[in-house]
Amino acid sequence: MQIALNARILQAPRTGIGHYLAELVNALGHQPGVELSLFHGWGWSANLPEAAMPGYSRISPVLRQIPGAYQARRWLEQRRFDQGRARTIDLYHEPSLWPLAFKGPTIVTLHDLTHVHYPLTQPAARLKEIERRLEQGVKQASLILTDSQFIADEAQAYFGLGPERFVVAPLGMAARFHPRSDESLQPVLQAHGVEPRGYFLCVGTLEPRKNLTLALRAHAELPEPVRQQFPLLVVGMAGWKAQQLNDELRKGLASGHVCLLGYLPDEQVAQLMAGARALIFPSIYEGFGLPVLEAMASGTPVILTRRSAMPEVAGAAGNYFEPEDLHDLCNVMTRLVDDQTHWQVCREAGLQQAKLFSWDRCATLTARAYRQALGG
C-alpha cells in the first residue's frame, strides 16, 4: 500500500498531535505492506523532519493579518500535493484537522473536538477554515480514526455518522518514558533544583482548558513545609489566553515553590516525568491525554479528572478529583505525599495500565484501517 501522510504539522514545535504523528510514522515503518510518503506542505519526503523549537510559526504574524492568508496557503499546498506524488498513492491519511482534496480513499484522524468546545483556542481565520472544511472532510472520509472511544462517540453524535465509520486506535508512549534510577536522574534534577520524587509536575500547553490555575491554587494551599519539600514544576509553552494564569503563576513564582520551565527537549521532559512524586493533569477536556500515559509508563502516579477520554487511559490507576474542587485536589496531593504505601500501589497500578498501550498497537490498528478503506 502506498500511503500519503500529511506531515506538515511536524514542522512546528511538537505538542500532542506532533508527537502522535512522529511516533506513528516510526511504528508504521514496521507494518508489512505499508509504504509511506510524507507531504510537508511544499513537497514530499521519506524522512521525518527535525522538531522545531518554540517561536516557529507556519504563518507569520504579518501574514495572519492579510485577508485570505489561510485560504491562499491552503490553495498552494493543494497545488503542491496534486503535482507531486499524490498521483501514485493508494490512500491519503490526514492526521490533523481537515484533509486536502484527494480522489482516492481518505482516512482522517480526529483527535478531539476542541474547536467546538473551545473555539477561541484557534485564530479567527483558522477557525473559520476549520468550520468550513472539517465537517465536509470527515463526512467524505472512508474511515475516521480516533484516539479514544469517547471522541468516537462524541464525533458520531456531532457529525451524525454511524459507528461503522470510526476506528479507535489508542495512542502509545515513546520508548524514552520508562522508570529510571535516582542516580541517572540526578544531572537533570539538580539543574532544576529538585530531588527524585521531591516535586509535583504539570506538563502541557498553558491554556484555560488545561485547568492549570486549579493546580497552582491547590499547591499554594498545601502547608509551607510540604510546598518547600515538594515544589511544583510546570513544563509547557504558552498557549491561548495564557495570560489568565499570570496572577497565580506570579504568586507561585514569588513564593519560590513554583518553577515555570517552559518548553523543554523531549529527553528532559521524560526524565522529569520519571522523577516526579506525581503528575498533576487537571485538564477538563482531552481526546486522550498523552502525558497521563507517559507518566504511568515512567512509574509516576497520576492525578487527573474524570473528564472526557482520560479515564480510558488511566483506568483504575488514576487518582481522580473533581475539576472544580480545590480541596479535593489538595487531599489527593497530600495523600500521595503522606501515604507511601498508597503511592507505591499507584505506581505499580500505573505501570500495569501502561502495558495496555503501545505505538505498535496503534500502528497495527491504523494499518488495518488502511486495508479496510482499500477494500482489503
357-372 pLDDT tens trace: 999 999 999 999 999 9
Taking the mean position of all CA atoms in its chain, how far away is CA 15?
Answer: 6
Residue-level pLDDT at 247: 65
Does pLDDT of 333 surpass 90?
A: yes
Task: At 358, list the grid cell.
Answer: 503501545
Residue-level pLDDT at 158: 94
**Residue ranges per domain, the chain?**
2-172+358-373, 182-354
Whether residue 62 has pLDDT greater than 70: no
Per-residue pLDDT band at 11 (split at 50, 70, 90)? confident
Considering the domain 2-172+358-373, what is its CATH architecture?
3-Layer(aba) Sandwich (3.40)
> CB-based burial of residue 316 (10 Å sphere; 0-12 exposed, 13-18 middle, 19+ buried)?
exposed
> What residue type is assigned to position 152 of the chain?
A
Per-residue confidence at 55, pLDDT binned at 50, 70, 90? very low
Interval 300-328: pLDDT, tens: 999 999 999 999 999 999 999 998 899 99
Say if strands 44-45 and 35-39 run parallel, antiparallel, or are unpaired.
antiparallel
Distance in angstroms (rounded) separating the CA atoms of residues 340 and 342: 5
Confidence of residue 237 (pLDDT cuts 50, 70, 90): low
Same fold yes or no, 2-172+358-373 and 182-354: yes
pLDDT bin (cut points 50, 70, 90) of residue 263 is confident
Q: What is the mean pLDDT of residues 131-140?
A: 85
- Checking if the pLDDT of 109 tops 60, the result is yes
Query: Looking at 48-57, 144-153, 174-183, which range is the least confident one?
Result: 48-57
At residue 340, the pLDDT reads 98
Is 3.40.50.12780 the CATH classification of the domain at 182-354? no
Q: Strands, E, within 84-129: which ranges? A: 91-94, 106-110
Does residue 243 or residue 339 have the better pLDDT?
339
pLDDT at residue 128, rounded to an integer? 80
**Angstrom distance (rounded) from CA 79 to CA 71:** 12
